[in-house]
Amino acid sequence: MQIYWTKINKIIEETSEVKTYLLDCPEGFTWEEGSHTHFALEGFNAGEKPNKSLVRHMSISTLPYENAIGITTRIREKCSEFKMILRDLEVGSEVAIFKTYSNVPLKREDKNIYLLSSGVGLATFRPLVLDYLNRADNVNQINSLNIDSSKEFLFTDIFESVPDKKFTAQFVDNRNDYYEEVKKFAADQDGLFYVVGSDEFVVQNIELLREQGVKPEQIMLDKREQRRAELLSIDLTV
């Protein structure tokens, strides 16, 4: 396993609680849209065993052409040790990334795509949308729906509807509106539904989509195959 040590290049205050850390791209490091990585703080591998409290899974919210690895996260006042340390890091601080993989690349299968997210889950979708807006080949259209009860919505420069490019972006701040919109999307029996958020959010969305007749193979999750199968009640042995 290769561990890439790199430096924080810029810190963007996205909202009052959400920050994006832009990291220098280490030589030889590349990734595709929808990727997540292991984001680790100094000292995580100092002992015999890696210190897990200094490591978190994080999506990469940028694309390689932006020349920076974006890590977007919410840091509440009351937070974990990991986020307390992260909050105090400055430009120039060293961090590590390793084991980078995309469970949710943009599927170019001539279908309509629905991106369902909650809060900073939108960070996972930012690169998919950029990729699509730069090159729409074999994607019919993309519709994004994000729920954030803080009402401080993220990436509103990119998540803005562009009818010419068949891209719509909606933000809602309550579950009722959210579920109404998802039901409308689910009427598309051939669409692809990407869901990113907490496990609870993912489970509720799966239930809702399945009730509306959406099939498991239409649902994309940022999970490994085994976990995705469990959540979607798919039997992998068949």
Q: Which residues bind ligand FAD (CB under 6 A)?
A: 36, 56-59, 72-74, 76, 78-80, 82-83, 120, 123, 222
Q: Which is nearer to ligand FAD, 62 or 72 (CB)?
A: 72
What is the DSSP code (8-state) at residue 212? Answer: T
Instruction: Give me the residues paired with residue 139 across strands.
Output: 111
Q: Which is nearer to ligand FAD, 80 or 189 (CB)?
A: 80
Least spacing, CB of residue 120 vs ligand FAD, in Å: 5
* Type of residue numbered 112: N
Q: Are 38 and 97 in contact (CB under 8 A)?
A: yes
Least spacing, CB of residue 218 vs ligand FAD, in Å: 20
Q: Are 47 and 40 in contact (CB under 8 A)?
A: no
Least spacing, CB of residue 224 vs ligand FAD, in Å: 9
- Other CB atoms within a 10 A radius of the CB of residue 141 amount to 16
CA dihedral over 41, 43, 46, 51, signed as positive or negative = negative
- Other CB atoms within a 10 A radius of the CB of residue 74 amount to 18
Helix (H) or strand (E) holding 152: none
Structure tokens at 65: 């052409």
Q: Which is nearer to ligand FAD, 36 or 172 (CB)?
A: 36
Q: Which is nearer to ligand FAD, 186 or 202 (CB)?
A: 202
Least spacing, CB of residue 39 vs ligand FAD, in Å: 8
**How many Å separate Cα 154 from the centre of its chain?**
12
Least spacing, CB of residue 153 vs ligand FAD, in Å: 16
- The residues, ordered by sequence, that sit 6+ positions from 32 with a Cβ below 8 Å of its Cβ are 102, 105
How far apart CA 234 and CA 238 sit, in angstroms, is 9
Least spacing, CB of residue 202 vs ligand FAD, in Å: 10
